[in-house]
Amino acid sequence: MDRISIIFKRKLLFFLVMFILAFVVLMARVIYIQTAKSEELQGMAYEQQTRDRLITPKRGNIEDRNGEGIAVTQSVNAVSVIHAQVEDEEATAKYLAEKLDLNYDDVLKKVSQRVALVRIKTKVDKETALEIRNADIPGVVVDEDVKRIYPYSSLAAQVIGFVGKDNQGIIGLEAKYDEYLKGEMGKILTLTDSRGVEISDYQERIEPVNGGNLVTTIDLTIQQFAEQTIEKAVTAKQAKRGIIIVLNPQNGEIYAMANYPSFDLNTPFEINDEALAAQWDSFSAEEQNNYLNKMWRNTAINDTYEPGSTFKIVTSSAGLEEGAVTVNDTFNCNGYYIAGDRMIKCWRYPRTHGSQTFAEGVQNSCNPVFMAVAQRLGPEKFYEYMIKFGFDKKTGIDLPGEAVGIMHKLENVGPVELATMSFGQSFQITPLQLLKAASAIVNGGYSIMPHFAKAIKDENGKIVHQFEFEKGEQIISTETSDTMRGILESVVAEGTGNKAYIPGYRIGGKTATSEKLPRRSGKYIASFMAFAPSDNPQVMALVLIDEPQGVYYGGTVAGPVMKELLSNVLPHLGIEPNYNEKELELDEVKTSVVPDIVGMEVAEAKKILSDINLICEIKSEGEIVAQQFPKAGETVNLGSKILIYAE
């Protein structure tokens, strides 16, 4: 009996110890929950007892360098339905469908969903939203929302990009800098019971954090000049498309990047091709998506092409830097050059350029001169400069989807490949890669980073983040850069680029006529690269016209386009003309004061204007001049048009 009692006591002690341990563990758990986990569990309980209605933050604006809004956010509203509070599903759906111009069946389907809250429509204008709010229909709620607006429609469309229904950037700067622009969501919290019915009118509001404003390097005026100029050029030449890029070669700031055709950023999912639009519904979703992506494509950075003769500035720079050629070296052009076992023609063939210096060879864009320079350099050294100028990698521009150049492998570069590469054939680069290399050639030899972003500002205009893009390594010497600027100035003053000559301005440049693949298809790209002033370049531009009809030579087609562009851009940037004595005698430089012709007979006014080399353009029928533009007393260039409104 004593033995049984001891065993029993031991068991009792064991269970007592286990009970105490369990109690201690339980108390420890309670203490842990009440302290360490209290905030988390309180939050979870609050989430169960409340309904969240998200408040969309105001997306930051995208501005040009002068603070003008290119992409802005407008306050609108969103209409939602809380199913648990709806009293009549059909009546509610009918009312919302009529007010919001939606399909009744689609709205009824949403209203009938047994979820806490469902969006019926976003981006609702304030007037309509106010009507719906005042109707006070059970279960229908109206919240703040935002709508992205692009005041200039198609301006820089492929660069700026657009946002989706969730206000997230899809392409362009909208996508690249989305983290700065988007802001943080806010909330409206309402107490509810287990069925989702509100049990109190009290609402807790957590304010959204609005996005920052992106200040870009874009100059709105220059962008407009570029877009108007390239549209006119593409239309006149019935070309496939066109590109203009304008940047500062000293620091890589891009003033303008224009693609034509473009599209309206406010309706980015509407195709811009009338023929495609007519049969749009017959395309599959995949086909429609492909066409839209093609429309949105920024060909200035997304597509590669053979640069042709504009690339000769790279061959020239490498040759001068390595001492393979000097400015006064002489070459003889027979109309062709023998590379390996192949005869490669000069663009002038069967005519020849004859004997010429290297500088004259650049002015004439003579292919044999550059093939000879490349042969003196050799494949290894030539390829070394291709790498130095960055043709094997992306420029690093702050836009998504940039392409990279397509080059031969060094081991595959024989005499023929080396010869054709010397004048810009048998490899492909993007237009921006060419401009990045050209910038280094004229700015003293330093690589630059092309870019759009300058800073992020808060709602009060205070800069909260500054983007830094410093100059890169020096690729060629300052001496070589100085020499190249002088040679390229002579190309515009005396050579193939003379159609871009503007009196009073020192402009350097290079033309190109690139034959597209397959060869002898009759398709070409006419282009012109130019910079000014040539002694201290502040602006550089590239004009590219794809598949011009009729005459297709770069100097003839793209030269006048470049002249028109720079005639507007240079004065806008405050770069004043400085005429020499010869230029002062040119009619296009001479000026005249507009006479007062208001009140005169039209015939008499026309004669007076003609006598002082001004052109009369009559804008309305009548015998007596009622108005004139420009007004009397204004100074204009000879040959300017004077608009007459007669009555």
Beta strand pairing call for 453-457 and 463-466: antiparallel
Residue 644 corresponds to which tokens in the numbers above?
Answer: 């007459």
Distance CA(226)–CA(544), nearest Å, equals: 12
User: 3-class SS at 635?
Assistant: strand
Distance CA(219)–CA(23), nearest Å, equals: 74
404: phi then psi, degrees, rounded to nearest 5: -125, 155
Residue 188 corresponds to which tokens in the numbers above?
Answer: 């409206």
74: β partners: 147
Distance CA(197)–CA(191), nearest Å, equals: 8
- 105, 99 Cβ separation under 8 angstroms: no
Residue 173 corresponds to which tokens in the numbers above?
Answer: 């700067």
Q: Provide the total of helices (H) and of strands (E) in the chain, helices listed first.
A: 22, 24
Q: Is 355 a known active-site residue?
A: no
- Please give the angle made by the CA atoms of 70, 71 and 72, to the nearest 5 degrees: 115
H-state helical runs in 237-378: 274-278, 285-296, 299-302, 312-321, 358-364, 367-377
Block residue for tokens 């690729």: 475
Q: How far is Cα of residue 569 from the mean position of the Cα atoms in its chain? A: 18
Which residues, 6 or more positions from 89, have their beta carbon under 8 angstroms from its beta carbon? Answer: 108, 111, 112
Residue 283 corresponds to which tokens in the numbers above?
Answer: 């395309």
- 74, 126 Cβ separation under 8 angstroms: no
Q: How far is Cα of residue 556 from the mean position of the Cα atoms in its chain? A: 27
DSSP category for residue 406 = B
- 240, 547 Cβ separation under 8 angstroms: yes
- 540, 566 Cβ separation under 8 angstroms: no
Catalytic residue among 262, 309, 439, 514: 309
Of the candidates 358, 294, 354, the residue with the CA atom closest to the CA atom of residue 320: 358
Q: How many CB atoms lie within 10 A of CB 619?
A: 11
The upper half-sphere exposure of residue 540, i.e. CA atoms within 13 Å in the direction of its Cβ, equals 32
Q: Taking the C-alpha atoms of 356, 359, 361 and 363 in order, what is their torsion angle to the nearest 10 degrees?
A: -120
Q: What is the crossing angle of helices 415-422 and 379-388, to 10°?
A: 40
* Burial group, residue 26, by CB count within 10 angstroms (0-12, 13-18, 19+): exposed
539: β partners: 532
The length of the chain in residues reads 647
Of the candidates 473, 544, 541, the residue with the CA atom closest to the CA atom of residue 514: 544
**Share in percent of the chain as helix, strand, coil (round to 5):** 40, 25, 35
Of the candidates 173, 155, 153, 263, the residue with the CA atom closest to the CA atom of residue 216: 173
- 359, 515 Cβ separation under 8 angstroms: no
Catalytic center residues? 309
